[in-house]
Structure 1
Amino acid sequence: MDNSITRRSSIDSATERTPLVNATGKFVQDQDPSSWSKEFKWLLKNCIPVIGTYMLQNSLQMASVFTLGRLGATQLAAAALGSMFASVSAWSIAHGMTTALDTLCSQAWTGAKDKTLVGVHLQRALVILGLMFLPIAGIWWNGERILLALNQEPELAEHAGMFLRYLMFGAPAYIAFEAVKKYLQAQGIMQASTYALIIASPINLMLNYSLVFLEPFKLGFIGAPLATSISYWIMLTLLLLYIQFVDGLAAWGGWTRECLSDWGPFLRLGLPGVIAISVEWWSFELSALAASYLSTVDLAAQSILLTSGAATYTIPYGIAVTISNRVGNALGEGAAIKATRASSMALIFAVVFGTLNSLFFILTRSWFGYLFTSEEDVVQRVSVILPICALFQISDGVAGVASGIIRGLGRQKVAAYLNVFAYYAVAAPIGYVLTFKLGMALTGLWTGLTIALFLSAGSQVIFLWIIDWHAEAKKIHHRIQIAEQKLHHEDIDSIDSTEPLLNA
């Protein structure tokens, strides 16, 4: 696409995905262009495809685990270990870094006169994420050695290392998919990634089974990670085809050298995003490791509980991604009241869906474990812990959605500080004492996690309650102006940073 033609692109007609006021680039009065019913309908309509996206995306790698379970216990354990290794060392980092796009792209889409600034943010993200993956690839290539150094069984370490090497082929596509998905979501295009995964997910299942078991392939163990890698490239290709032929080009001005400079804003948001995401992600992974020191029954029960918790968390996480873009769009266009109303509606959604999840776990606690195993001891252990899981469903949802709102504000550092305090300064020591010193086993572990989630949720909601949303909108407007001036090599000193604040 010709960069000179599209660089000054503009939007001719106002829609949900275009700015209400910004034709002159001046900071204007907040005209409150929303209502409670409008925010309810918008959030419900747009969070559903995002939730579907994350459910389908998680299913891709799980297909390998289920397929390899037919080969034997070692292969199953190696797939689970390799998947956990990938999540800790790469996926959590990729998800954290791309939270910068939740902020930059959503705010630029409605706040910038030149919409191709959104595409430049994507380009910077792809370059930075590509460089970031180089050391990760080195870690994956030496995965077997690392696992042996961590005292894993040699055969298990060998298979897990093999799993990571073949999964490494598809990792760049997975990471790029995350970034491109954020680029589209910032424009209000929530359904594109869902469509791509609706096609890629069944293909992934067929590839897994074919490459592992069927002639003329019958690759055995390596067939599963190879199939997953191919599926990652398929879903990325489908998403790019959607942009090219359906929707999403409005913010793309072609590749530019500008993506090789001015990385500061992305890194200042992305690195705290990594901390905010990884702190919680790693805490749950560490709880699985802690359970392995208790007993085989505890470890099996913990696996069931973590899998179930991850499944229910896709709902608030989908809401969080959706509201992050809504808040960023609203603040980008100077609509602080709209942003606060949308945020309140999202938190209400979190409480409602968290309550439904809690009721589900409470009502099914006596037989829920039988969905995963026939071992009576494991089922009994799961039934004991499920009421605690039910207790934190609301706080888990509120914490996730509040983090999404904070990303829309561009305050990832706040979420990082609060999560580190909640999980590691307070909850981790309490969980350790309860689990290993007081002999509460899994009950102690999940009590610690519950405390962390309540602290995280409460502190983030308090932060959202006390901030000045109008002042935040003005700062965002000023930041977008600076980014546009840099993009066009104009004089930054000409920006008026003293424009009047929005009227309440």
Structure 2
Amino acid sequence: MQQRIHHEEDTISVGSSSLSSTPTERTPLISRLPDDFEKGHASLGCEFRWLVKNALPVVFTFLLQNSLQMASIFTLGHLGPTELAAAALASMFASVSAWSIAFGTATALDTLCSQAWTGAKDKTLVGIHLQRALCILGLMFIPIAVVWWNCTALLLKLHQEPELARLAGLFLRCLMLGAPAFIAFEATKKFLQAQGIMQASTYVLMIVSPLNLILNYTFVYLPPFKLGFMGAPLATSCSYWLMLTLLICYIKFVDGKAAWGGWSRECLTGWVSFLKLSVPSLLMITAEWWAFELSSLAASYLSTNDLAAQSIVLTTASATYTIPFGISVAASNRIGNALGESNARKARLASIVAILFAVFFGTMNSTFFMATRAKFGFLFTSDTDVVRIVSRIMPLCALFQVADGLAGVCGGIIRGLGRQEFAAYLNILAYYIVALPLGYYLTFVRDWDLNGLWIGLTLALFLVASGSLAFLGFINWDNEVKKALNRIQADEAKIHEDTQGAPF
């Protein structure tokens, strides 16, 4: 990528900063430069090592977190095809209607918490951001819970089979008991990641994930429980609460409580500024998430073989995305921390290393898919027709691997900057103005079948990746430092003005 960025000084003067060590106009800039400033390769090497160390726990966390609901599907698959289909349908419904919304809203913490952790005098500002997020997410879950409670009626109106709709509705009503814990876990996880504590959620899930599988089997099949179908979502709900409890215990007894000053009435204020970041974050995440789910829905109107092939390719693409996802989360927090500590050069270097990682892993994935495309489908099925369809789609899957990684990592960099609004508009344009209409036309008008859907999605990923790279190429990192410190100072000023901001 041709970075259209000048070599900024390591720090800048920004008036009165919240950091006591911020230089004045008379402070020599050379005293603020890192020891390895003259050694560009050493700086890049430092960012490389940091990113590897901190992205890996995020990748494992993401994989283990996804395994929780997969355990329910595997467990219920032995009860019968209807139960399996109902669990899969309910999981998809939960993903679209709740998890994507909660995840998108919580990503505002990638900006606010990471910048506040290094830029604020009072580190408990990070905790106040978390409290605001929890309050807003709690209110958002009320309409989601109403939708879940009436899921059976909604699915019947969408002409689903009555028994399938009934079981899916039952699944969601039981899962509703644990959903608040899952949402709170997601926000609390970001609270820790902003402090550079990436491994805490991984440790928690290494404990909870195998226990979840045992609980699922026990609740479904073994006395004295033997609850049948409803046992799986109840077990998963218990696992969600265990996750949150263990993560809170980690904060209290191990690490992370430095940013927690107790519950404060200040969390009931400042919602407008929080929503200005969280709403674009929500649109940024859900635009892509929902577009891929809609592609699966569209594939269901084709043949059964096409739907099976779509499931294989989409599952594979999701698996390969875990690496750029981990990089994006780590890079987002690294860049936010660097901006908070007035280190523009560090933020720029972190973004460059993250982008290089995305290109490297995308190229590796692409090469693997092209080399195995003819036989890859046999890993999932013995049906030769399905394997043949998969082999036709795999070159497209291979083509967008680099773009998918770049889009994800650039999204993380943009969250670290706090510029989610641009990414939201770009994703909406790419997926809903270009990809889905084009995919519908090629698939159902031109009769290109599954190829049409994936051509549209591939084009969208390239548009998002190229647009994000162009946007980052024009970023003035010194100005981003000023914006970050201004945001932090404004938040701190509000706290100091509020005489009722003490913990309660």
Whether these two folds match at TM > 0.5 is yes
Using the TM superposition, give the Cα deviation of residue 26 of structure 1 relative to its aligned residue in structure 2, in angstroms. Answer: 6.3
**Alignment-derived partner of residue 55 in structure 2:** 47
Using the TM superposition, give the Cα deviation of residue 367 of structure 1 relative to its aligned residue in structure 2, in angstroms. Answer: 2.0
**Alignment-derived partner of residue 214 in structure 1:** 222
User: Given the alignment, which residue of 406, 431, 437 partners 2:439?
Assistant: 431
**Alignment-derived partner of residue 9 in structure 2:** none
User: Given the alignment, which residue of 379, 386, 389 partners 2:394?
Assistant: 386
Using the TM superposition, give the Cα deviation of residue 363 of structure 1 relative to its aligned residue in structure 2, in angstroms. Answer: 2.0
Aligned partners of 1:436, 1:27: CA distance in 2, in Å? Answer: 64
Q: Runs of 5+ in structure 2 lacking a partner?
A: 1-16, 37-42, 500-504
The answer on 1:200 being equivalent to 2:208 is: yes
User: Given the alignment, which residue of 189, 195, 199 partners 1:191?
Assistant: 199
**Alignment-derived partner of residue 179 in structure 2:** 171
Which whole-Å deviations, capped at 9, do the CAs of 1:286-310 have from their partners, x for residues lacking one?
A: 0010001111000111111111111
Change (3 A) 1:74 1:331: same
Which whole-Å deviations, capped at 9, do the CAs of 1:63-105 have from their partners, x for residues lacking one?
A: 1111111111111111111001000000000110011100000
User: Given the alignment, which residue of 16, 20, 32 partners 1:23?
Assistant: 20
**Alignment-derived partner of residue 414 in structure 1:** 422
Aligned partners of 1:77, 1:125: CA distance in 2, in Å? Answer: 34
Contact between 2:18 and 2:121, CA under 8 Å: does it hold in 1?
no
Matched residue pairs, number? Answer: 472
Contact between 2:436 and 2:456, CA under 8 Å: does it hold in 1?
yes
**Alignment-derived partner of residue 99 in structure 1:** 107
Change (3 A) 1:474 1:297: same
Contact between 1:27 and 1:334, CA under 8 Å: does it hold in 2?
no
Aligned partners of 1:256, 1:25: CA distance in 2, in Å? Answer: 28
**Alignment-derived partner of residue 266 in structure 2:** 258
Using the TM superposition, give the Cα deviation of residue 22 of structure 1 relative to its aligned residue in structure 2, in angstroms. Answer: 2.1
Change (3 A) 1:293 1:27: farther
* Pairing of 1:98-497 with structure 2 (within 5 A): 98-489=106-497
The answer on 1:67 being equivalent to 2:64 is: no
Using the TM superposition, give the Cα deviation of residue 252 of structure 1 relative to its aligned residue in structure 2, in angstroms. Answer: 0.6
Partner letter of residue 22 of structure 1? L
Aligned partners of 1:38, 1:215: CA distance in 2, in Å? Answer: 54
Contact between 2:266 and 2:498, CA under 8 Å: does it hold in 1?
no
**Secondary structure of 1:461's aligned partner:** helix
Partner letter of residue 376 of structure 1? T
Query: Please, which moves more after superposition, 353-362 or 439-448?
Result: 353-362
**Alignment-derived partner of residue 7 in structure 1:** none
Which whole-Å deviations, capped at 9, do the CAs of 1:262-309 have from their partners, x for residues lacking one?
A: 111211111111110001000100001000111100011111111111
Partner letter of residue 457 of structure 1? A
Partner letter of residue 458 of structure 2? T
TM-score of the two chains, using structure 2 as the length reference = 0.92
The answer on 1:36 being equivalent to 2:44 is: yes
**Alignment-derived partner of residue 8 in structure 2:** none
Aligned partners of 1:265, 1:472: CA distance in 2, in Å? Answer: 17
Using the TM superposition, give the Cα deviation of residue 210 of structure 1 relative to its aligned residue in structure 2, in angstroms. Answer: 1.0
Aligned partners of 2:296, 2:498: CA distance in 1, in Å? Answer: 53
Aligned partners of 2:233, 2:133: CA distance in 1, in Å? Answer: 26
Aligned partners of 1:400, 1:32: CA distance in 2, in Å? Answer: 31
Aligned partners of 2:394, 2:490: CA distance in 1, in Å? Answer: 50
Using the TM superposition, give the Cα deviation of residue 478 of structure 1 relative to its aligned residue in structure 2, in angstroms. Answer: 1.1
Contact between 1:27 and 1:474, CA under 8 Å: does it hold in 2?
no
Aligned partners of 2:56, 2:185: CA distance in 1, in Å? Answer: 19
Aligned partners of 1:198, 1:308: CA distance in 2, in Å? Answer: 23
Query: Please, which moves more after superposition, 128-137 or 33-42?
Result: 33-42
**Alignment-derived partner of residue 6 in structure 1:** none
Which whole-Å deviations, capped at 9, do the CAs of 1:199-240 have from their partners, x for residues lacking one?
A: 000000101111111122111111111111111111111111
Contact between 1:107 and 1:331, CA under 8 Å: does it hold in 2?
yes
**Secondary structure of 1:113's aligned partner:** coil
TM-score of the two chains, using structure 1 as the length reference = 0.92
**What is the aligned-residue identity percentage?**
66
**Alignment-derived partner of residue 39 in structure 2:** none
Contact between 2:119 and 2:340, CA under 8 Å: does it hold in 1?
yes
Using the TM superposition, give the Cα deviation of residue 357 of structure 1 relative to its aligned residue in structure 2, in angstroms. Answer: 1.3
**Alignment-derived partner of residue 93 in structure 2:** 85
Aligned partners of 1:373, 1:420: CA distance in 2, in Å? Answer: 35
Aligned partners of 1:297, 1:32: CA distance in 2, in Å? Answer: 60
Using the TM superposition, give the Cα deviation of residue 437 of structure 1 relative to its aligned residue in structure 2, in angstroms. Answer: 1.0
Contact between 1:21 and 1:333, CA under 8 Å: does it hold in 2?
no
Aligned partners of 1:223, 1:420: CA distance in 2, in Å? Answer: 39
Aligned partners of 2:339, 2:280: CA distance in 1, in Å? Answer: 21
**Secondary structure of 2:223's aligned partner:** coil
Partner letter of residue 444 of structure 2? F
Aligned partners of 2:214, 2:473: CA distance in 1, in Å? Answer: 49
**Secondary structure of 1:254's aligned partner:** coil
